[in-house]
A and B are shown apart, each in its own frame.
Chain A
């Protein structure tokens, strides 16, 4: 399993690890049987993600994609965070091994689950798009750049 230097950097020095007290929203995806769980905490003020933290149970790629996803949405508007794709996470990490692409999908799902929680808590009647929508099942599309 060969990881890029970026993946190893985000794995060994993950950004935004932890919990937020009284978060605006929380999203948790994955399960222990499959070997990865991601939990993302958001602090949202005036539609802007002012703080984000994560906790992840999983492999090196799961931790690195969580770290990168939180970096990519920090300081962004909720709408911008909703537009985050797994492909963008992969590109920001300079690629992932094919067997680890699902970790990037999980990171996108975790962000979307947290935003869905935010909508629910605030009575916002909006649909959260399905995660992994940019995934057409062609693994080389994400990995081959």
Chain B
């Protein structure tokens, strides 16, 4: 087997050794329940307080504005449903975008069934939305806007700071899903002016099973889990001490290493320049307002799942927006939202690079990818006409 090239960092990341080291004591001698009064309990409680403070500092928040959850999806669900329910007396209109993560879109579906009205902002062919379009969607009965900071498939970064200022001027709560942004671009809640922000541990080299929600002081948000009073009574359940420690360490490392991102972006740019030399290929999404490690391309006449399987055999991990890679019949809603026809969305490839990737990785991808695309095209009835014209 060739060495693995991991180019799917938007899906998940490996747990860094420093993060694991930070967590290990809490699986061993430091197993106390943070709610207990004796010494190992108190130590666990202090360990959480320390983690909360470090996370707050890196995000520009106050410690009591940080809530620990089990994942990004939980944070998204809580922020949206919690804010909608707590503010329903003021209005029942919510604004979001067509290309949010399903953790947001499906939460909106639930609220729609409860009688909330949702406006889905459309995106342009680059995946962008202007502040003017955002403002135009606000109505007197709008209580909440949920707009992602950066898109998970095409990496588009939205002008969240401008959106948050507009929302504030109209007294609309503003939540941003920053799961893909954190660790890739600077994220500071004070500078952004958002009311709520979600993040996930496993996208930034912490383990799967830990996330956080920032809730600005004064924001009305319903309780998520009734229980023993943990997380200031809003999310009961004994705290996941080890994972909370891991999240704090991972976030600190991610922020400290943001200065490596121009290198990652340069790797991505080289990939983009070379890959578009493959005939009948195109880049999906804006190249200027984009996460540094994200590349999304479509190859005509082939289907994404086959491409992913053959890349896997060549030791390259990547993903696709093809319907055939999931249980659903529709290709990626994100790629359709930027106007890509279904047949081109089926032939999409997402490569997401991070700190662990090197020039050699890019060399290998550029060596292996074109013949795999050609191999699938040679097998494709859609490519026959093109091939016959050539010969």
- Contact residues of A with B, CB < 8 Å? 1, 8, 11-12, 14, 17, 19, 28, 32-39, 55-63, 99
Contact = CB atoms under 8 A, between A and B. Distances in A.
A78 to B, nearest CB: 22
A35 B322 contact: yes
A43 B391 CA distance: 23
A39 B381 contact: yes
Contact of B380 (A34, A56, A59, A99): A56
Interface stretch (B68-76, B250-258, B301-309): B301-309
B285 interface: no
A57 B305 CA distance: 11
Contact of B324 (A14, A33, A36): A36
B329 to A, nearest CB: 7
A60 B331 contact: no
Interface string B316-346: 0000001111110101000000000111001
B303 A35 contact: yes
21 contacts: A1-B305, A11-B309, A12-B313, A19-B384, A32-B346, A32-B382, A33-B341, A33-B342, A36-B303, A37-B382, A55-B379, A55-B380, A55-B384, A57-B379, A57-B381, A58-B303, A59-B303, A60-B309, A61-B324, A62-B303, A62-B306
A107 to B, nearest CB: 14
B381 A59 contact: no
A33 B303 CA distance: 11
Contact of A60 (B306, B323, B341): B306
Nearest to B327: A99
A1 to B, nearest CB: 7
Contacts of B303: 35-36, 57-59, 62
Given A36-B303, A63-B379, 4 more contacts: A33-B343, A56-B379, A59-B303, A59-B306
Given A57-B301, A59-B303, A35 B346 contact: yes
Main secondary structure of the interface of B (DSSP, over half): helix
B324 A58 contact: yes
Contacts of A8: 309
Contacts of A59: 303, 305-306, 322, 324-325
A34 B313 CA distance: 25
Q: B302, B325, B383: which has the most chain A beta carbons within 10 Å?
A: B325
A38 B323 CA distance: 17
Contacts of B313: 12
Contacts of A58: 303, 306, 324
A65 to B, nearest CB: 13
A28 B306 contact: no
Contacts of B323: 34-35
* Leading 9 A-B pairs by shortest Cβ distance: A59-B324, A32-B343, A59-B305, A55-B381, A39-B381, A57-B380, A35-B346, A33-B342, A99-B327
Contacts of A56: 379-381
Contacts of A1: 305, 325
B97 to A, nearest CB: 24
Nearest to A30: B381
Contacts of A32: 342-343, 346, 382
B250 to A, nearest CB: 29
